[in-house]
């Protein structure tokens, strides 16, 4: 298998109701929203569904206006390691598991 790698930037576009409610006075991107945004981006690029994640670590809060730098490295035929940094600081890492193309 030839291991592939991707690097891209992402700005998460959330409804105002999310930003206002999570949390009032200190808006932060919900970890679930970050995971979902990453999964949707991977699905678009790889044309395969994300069916799980493993060894996720949320290491720093993500500001809703942050531009995220994503590094994705293929580890196996069905798994990619993603690392997310905002303003040079790692905020998230995890392994995304992919299902069969639909």
Partner 1 sequence: MIEDLYAQLPHAGAMCLLDRIEHWDDSALVATTRRHRDVAHPLRQQGRLHALAGLEYAAQACALHGVLLGRLDSAQTAGGNTVVATVQLLECASGDLDRAGVELRAEVRCVLRQSHSAIYESRVSDGEGWLLTASLGLMLSSVN
Distance (Å, whole) CA 65 – CA 88? 15
> With CB under 8 A, what is the number of residues at the site for partner 1?
37
Stretch that binds partner 1, among 1-9, 13-21, 69-77, 78-86 (CB under 8 A): 13-21
Of 8 and 52, the one with the shorter C-beta distance to partner 1 is: 52
Q: Which long-range contacts (CB under 8 A, 24 or more apart) does 71-79 make?
A: 71/5, 71/6, 71/7, 72/5, 72/6, 72/7, 72/8, 72/42, 73/3, 73/4, 73/5, 74/1, 74/3, 74/4, 74/5, 75/3, 76/1, 77/1
31 near partner 1, rule: CB under 8 A? yes
Return the residues of window 50-79 that contact partner 1 according to CB under 8 A: 50-58, 61
Residue 9 interacting with partner 1 (CB under 8 A): no
Interface ranges with partner 1 (CB under 8 A): 12-15, 17-18, 20-24, 26, 28, 30-33, 35-37, 39-40, 49-58, 61, 94, 97, 99, 102
């Amino acid at each position: 298998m030839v291991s592939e790698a991707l690097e891209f930037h992402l700005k998460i576009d959330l409804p105002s109701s999310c930003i206002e409610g999570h949390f009032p006075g200190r808006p932060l991107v919900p970890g679930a929203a970050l995971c979902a945004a990453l999964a949707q981006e991977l699905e678009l690029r790889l044309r395969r569904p994300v069916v799980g994640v493993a060894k996720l670590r949320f290491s720093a809060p993500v500001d809703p206006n942050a531009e995220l730098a994503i590094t994705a490295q293929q580890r196996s035929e069905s798994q990619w390691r993603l690392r997310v940094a905002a303003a040079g600081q790692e905020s998230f890492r995890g392994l995304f598991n992919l299902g069969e193309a639909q």
